[in-house]
Amino acid sequence: MNEVLKKYLKNKISLNEEQLEYWGSLLTLRDLNKNDFLLREGDISKHTAFVTKGCLRLYSIDLKGKEHILQFAPEEWWIGDMESFSKNTPSSYFIDAIEDSEVLLMDLPAQETLFRQIPEAVAFFQQLMQNRQVATQKRIIFSMSASAEQRYLDFIKTYPSFTQRVPQHMIASYLGITPESLSRIRKQVITKK
Amino acid sequence: MNEVLKKYLKNKISLNEEQLEYWGSLLTLRDLNKNDFLLREGDISKHTAFVTKGCLRLYSIDLKGKEHILQFAPEEWWIGDMESFSKNTPSSYFIDAIEDSEVLLMDLPAQETLFRQIPEAVAFFQQLMQNRQVATQKRIIFSMSASAEQRYLDFIKTYPSFTQRVPQHMIASYLGITPESLSRIRKQVITKK
DNA sequence: GATATGCATTGATATAGGGTAAGAAATGCA
DNA sequence: TGCATTTCTTACCCTATATCAATGCATATC
């Protein structure tokens, strides 16, 4: 069984060795090169992914061709378009790898099996979803009440590890500002110190 | 049993008469006058509310004292601070009535009982939560990619009924703009026609 | 019926962040 | 090692929206 998943699950949910193995057996490994897509707009998402190596991103592209990043997913994060996945509808999002990566994929039948065989997993995913919702709501509030500089400082404080590995223009896209603005903000922040 | 809830549930989930009655019996009615609070920042949320009459709002107040509305909830909507409710932690939100209203309250024990007695309710609330998450994510994207005018036009198209009953400055707060800006935008939109 | 209160409008001015373009720096590639 | 590509920075000007202040209505209060 994959070691990253094992460590993660042991940490998060109390299961015996057999259950852990079973969970792992339901997922399939996929290697992704940098820039490889896991999902494109218009596709129907067939998987939810657990990242064991590297880093992916979830984003949409607006009418003017501009990318808007909703989520980064490094090791031990889940990523996917829940709506497309569970309703079998075309996605409006893209997911791709921003580094060479490795993911464990769970398809819908596997999820159903998992929920049937390991009922604890239901509450587990429910909790994940709730945490996501809480974070997303906070992001709305914060984007309405704080300046770009404050949001940037909050970002590097909340996700210090991302700041190292994610290119700056993607952080800008996540924050909802242009790369130029972020560059100016960083300059200000540095000279302020 | 409350008629609004009955109609709503019949529409959304297939249950027999007995189950409907049972569900209804777990909720308690509360009348709210306009401006009454259901939840204040710092409180621990003891209920999730189903609105049967009137309209409530969920919002936070930032450091500068500015309100940011996350959700309006007219008849047949659920409203609450899930995080505070399920984790028993102090809320960072306010919920109040913007009209004289009537809600059905579900506390945590009632929810647990409901989930035990009517297993279909679990998936039902999960679906609600997922829809909420999808909508919240779209709101982030939209606030990053569209102008205030586009967001306003989208709002009145998506929630035409709200536009009638919700004061303008609250719509502005939901859209993340000032009441003055909204007033100017409306003027523009009208003269454009 | 007079007055206070809250909400929407309007005008004048300020500002954060965007758009564009160019160059510098870093990174990948051959 | 050197060229190409991508990423980041800087400068200039511009626009959308905010801020502040005043005014007009409508509604509630006494």
Among B16, B23, B2, B11, which residue's Cα sits nearest to residue B117?
A: B23
DSSP-based three-state secondary structure for A101: strand
Does the pLDDT value for residue A192 go beyond 80? no
Residues 128-187 of A with CB under 7 A from strand D: 167-169, 179-180, 182-184, 186-187
How far is residue B77 from each of residues A43, B103, B130, B169, measured CA to CA in Å?
Answer: 31, 10, 15, 22
From the alpha carbon of A166, which nucleotide's C1' atom is closest? D7
Please, what's the b/e burial string for A125-141 (b: 16 or more CB within 10 A of its CB; e: otherwise)?
beeebbebbeebbebbb
In angstroms, rounded to a whole number, what is the distance separating the alpha carbons of residues B41 and B39?
7
What residue type is assigned to position B47 of the chain? Answer: H
Percent composition of chain A: helix, strand, coil (DSSP 3-state, to 5): 50, 25, 25
In angstroms, rounded to a whole number, what is the distance separating the alpha carbons of residues A185 and A153?
10
| Chain B closest-CA separation from residue A154 CA (Å) | 15
At residue B164 the predicted structure's pLDDT band, cuts being 50, 70 and 90, is confident
Among A131, A105, A116, which residue's Cα sits nearest to residue A19?
A: A116
The share of chain B scoring above pLDDT 70, in percent, equals 99
Chain B CB contacts of A146 below 8 Å = 62
Please state the rounded mean pLDDT for residues B110-130: 96
Please state the rounded mean pLDDT for residues A154-172: 93
* Beta partners for residue B71, in sequence order: B58
From the alpha carbon of A178, which nucleotide's C1' atom is closest? C18
Encoding tokens for residue B159? 């929630």
Does the pLDDT value for residue B192 go beyond 80? no
- Kindly report, residue by residue over A76-102, the tens digit of the pLDDT: 999 999 999 999 999 999 999 999 999
Does the pLDDT value for residue B153 go beyond 90? yes
Multiple choice CATH, B3-121, 3.40.50.2000, 3.65.10.10, 1.10.10.10, 2.60.120.10: 2.60.120.10
- Kindly report, residue by residue over A12-61, the tens digit of the pLDDT: 999 999 999 999 999 999 999 999 999 999 999 999 999 999 999 999 99
CATH classification code of A3-119: 2.60.120.10
In angstroms, rounded to a whole number, what is the distance separating the alpha carbons of residues A122 and A134?
18
> Cβ separation of B136 and A141 shorter than 8 Å?
no
Does the pLDDT value for residue B86 go beyond 90? yes
At residue A191 the predicted structure's pLDDT band, cuts being 50, 70 and 90, is confident
For chain A, the domains span: 3-119
At residue B193 the predicted structure's pLDDT band, cuts being 50, 70 and 90, is low
pLDDT at A190: 87
What's the mean pLDDT when you consider all of chain B? 95
Q: Which residues contact B41 (CB under 8 A, 6 or more apart)?
A: B60, B61, B90, B91, B92, B93, B94
Strand blocks (E) in chain A: 28-32, 37-39, 47-53, 55-61, 67-74, 78-79, 94-97, 101-107
Contact by Cβ (8 Å): A84, A44: yes
Does the pLDDT value for residue A193 go beyond 80? no
Q: Taking CA atoms, what residue in A is nearest to B141?
A: A68
Chain A CB contacts of B62 below 8 Å = 141, 145-146
- Kindly report, residue by residue over A147-158, the tens digit of the pLDDT: 999 999 999 999
Please state the rounded mean pLDDT for residues B92-96: 96
| Chain B closest-CA separation from residue A143 CA (Å) | 9
> Residue A25 belongs to what H/E stretch?
helix A17-25
- Kindly report, residue by residue over A127-137, the tens digit of the pLDDT: 999 999 999 99
Which residues on chain A place their C-beta less than 8 Å from a C-beta of chain B? Answer: 60, 62-64, 66, 68, 70, 82-83, 86, 122, 126, 129-130, 132-134, 136-137, 139-141, 143-146, 176
Chain B CB contacts of A132 below 8 Å = 133
Contact by Cβ (8 Å): B48, B150: no
Residue A3, burial from CB neighbour count under 10 angstroms (0-12, 13-18, 19+): exposed
Encoding tokens for residue B165? 């009953």
- Kindly report, residue by residue over B5-54, the tens digit of the pLDDT: 999 999 999 999 999 999 999 999 999 999 999 999 999 999 999 999 99
- Kindly report, residue by residue over B66-85, the tens digit of the pLDDT: 999 999 999 999 999 999 99
Q: Taking CA atoms, what residue in A is nearest to B62?
A: A145
Chain A CB contacts of B178 below 8 Å = none
From the alpha carbon of B177, which nucleotide's C1' atom is closest? D17
B133 → closest Cβ in A62, A132, A139:
A132
